[in-house]
A and B are shown apart, each in its own frame.
Chain A
Amino acid sequence: MLSKTNVNAQTPTYSVGDTLIRCKGLCKSFGKLTVVHDLNLAIRAGTCFGLLGPNGAGKSTTLRMILGQSPPSDGVLEVFGKDIRRHGRDIRARTGVVPQADTLDPDFSVIENITIYARYFGLRPDVMQHEIEELLNLVELSDRRHSRVSTLSGGMKRRLTIARALVNDPELLVLDEPTTGLDPQARHLVWALIHGLKRSGKTIILTTHYLEEAERLCDNLVLIDHGHAVARGSTKELIATHCEKAVVEIRDTLNPLQKQAIENVTTRLEYSGDTTYAYTSDLTRLATAIDDLKLEQVLHRHATLEDVFLRLTGRGIRD
């Protein structure tokens, strides 16, 4: 399975298709509270894997376990074929992390943040100036190299964090909500970066709340809720397995008769606020029915990952 011919640091030890992260029966409890329950994962090298779930589902805890920052309570967890309990340091040496919160060093400039981070990996920033320049170019921060971190926008900070995470030329990238809090421009730039990194052969594991982001970036997903994996597969598979093909969103207030008429031609109706969501696999039939009802505020669309997410985790608010 593993191609163990590590010729030089540029050649990943793992080739596309090998299992890079393997969890079996992974559990994490804090006292009586179980945050991750019997999680099984096989993440393949060269793919982008998404961990989805509402707040408090156990996503960040899972990432912390993968990085050796949180000892598993039970189960097997191997990264690069190594047991996380014994080889956390080796695993982190080959991994780049973009944490959810801003952990940039405010006492340093843009470029100093990268050089000091290289030192933490035991690298010598003085002999890797070329690589550091390339990283600054990649994240489009070359002209801000001497700026203080506090003067950067949210998007720039996130890009700098990504550059910092790449300083050890990692095989695995762990991105914990990489675009949360960014404006659309900044978000698209980060997505482009992630796409590029994926193309360059890096394995990526990311958590996100933005289901559009997961659809765009992730080859495979697992949906976690209350520490349990509730669904897994590619976006297409998840939609095919767990949701009807089409959705019609209706903003009009429906009287009982109208409601009944729609119910007859749908598999499922859901209500959220003033909107009725009608799910169906036969859009033509539903569309005809809605036309007959002369409703005005109607939106036809394909089912998305968001529909799967809401179907499986419910519409209740999580804090």
Chain B
Amino acid sequence: MNRPWQPLVRRQALAVWQRNFLVWRKLIAPSLVVHFGEPLIYLLGLGYGLGLFIGKMAGMPYLAFLASGFIASSAMNTASFEAMWSVYTRMVPQRTYEALLATPIEVDDIVVGELLWCATKSTIAGCAILIVAVFLGAVSDLSALLSIPLLFVIGFCFGALAMIVTALANGYEFFSYYITLVITPMFILCGVFYPTTSLPEGMQQVIQFLPLTHAVALVRPLVTGQELIAPLQHLLALIAFGTVATWVTVILIRRRLII
């Protein structure tokens, strides 16, 4: 195929997005229970339970600190799970992509459509926590609304990273490596539960190379009404991760499907 080296971004990707959206809409009840129920339990349990002992963290109630961190990490988790389990299901056992590739849809449209969907689902998941946090009194500023478009960017970035793993996977078991070795360390280390400044000096350097650090650094100030520090730098870091990962994913998925 005379394919360009860069991913082909076309309107047709929206048909793939729309397919996923229609399926999601059919199963809206269980997915909303997950989106709202999970953060509610986490925030009530950890936010209030631990918050009682911790009091304030980084100048805010622990519940607010945790809620703002969870918004970012749930965007990461939602996009990662969608890009691994769901994408793999559509690619391999369900053969959805085989059906798609018999139409004028191209591999690049599939990848872009799936990533837009990951981003959408992350935004929905993040917003659910945001709404829960508002009701728990953990959101203090209208700037929290700015975190919504940001969630889309975060979802796209993590979706693209996870889809690299999917492109190389030979089964669902393979995803455990990525979850255990990449997602969980980010969840623990990148500032969701405590300020990254409390990490050892060397570790603080390392986590600058992890995208969740930048996601939390942007979402938390927006949600809690604190001052943003170097927002452009964090945003560019996320965009850079997302762009490079999309590129790699497109090339790997092309190689896997067009043989």
Contacts and interface: CB of A to CB of B under 8 A. Distances in A.
Nearest to A70: B259
A121 B103 contact: yes
A102 B94 CA distance: 8
A106 to B, nearest CB: 6
Nearest to B98: A103
A108 B23 contact: yes
Contact of A92 (B18, B96, B102): B102
Contacts of B18: 116, 119
A85 interface: yes
Nearest to B107: A69
B98 A99 contact: yes
Contacts of A108: 22-23
B106 A89 contact: yes
Nearest to A88: B1
A120 B22 CA distance: 14
Interface string B202-223: 0000000000000000000000
A117 B104 CA distance: 11
A92 B1 contact: no
A89 B8 CA distance: 13
A116 B22 contact: yes
Interface in B89-126: 94-96, 98-106
Interface in A81-126: 85-86, 88-90, 92-93, 95, 97, 99, 101-108, 112, 116-117, 119-122
Q: 3 tightest A-B contacts by CB?
A: A97-B102, A103-B99, A120-B103
Interface in B144-189: none
Contacts of B95: 99, 101-103
Interface string B121-145: 0000000000000000000000000
B198 interface: no
A136 B39 CA distance: 45
A85 B94 CA distance: 27
A27 B215 CA distance: 49
Interface of A: 30, 67-71, 85-86, 88-90, 92-93, 95, 97, 99, 101-108, 112, 116-117, 119-122, 165, 168
Contact of B104 (A99, A103, A116, A120): A120
Of B26, B95, B101, which is in contact with the most chain A CB atoms at under 10 Å from its CB? B101
Nearest to B20: A107
A116 B105 CA distance: 13
Contacts of A120: 12, 15, 100, 103-105
Given A89-B106, A116-B19, A70 B94 contact: no
B232 interface: no
Contacts of B23: 107-108
Nearest to B96: A105
Nearest to B106: A89
Given A103-B99, A116-B18, A121-B104, 7 more contacts: A69-B257, A103-B102, A105-B19, A105-B99, A120-B15, A121-B103, A168-B103
Contacts of B104: 89-90, 92-93, 120-122
Interface string B1-20: 11000000000100100110
A88 B103 CA distance: 10
B17 to A, nearest CB: 11
Of B2, B95, B102, which is in contact with the most chain A CB atoms at under 10 Å from its CB? B102
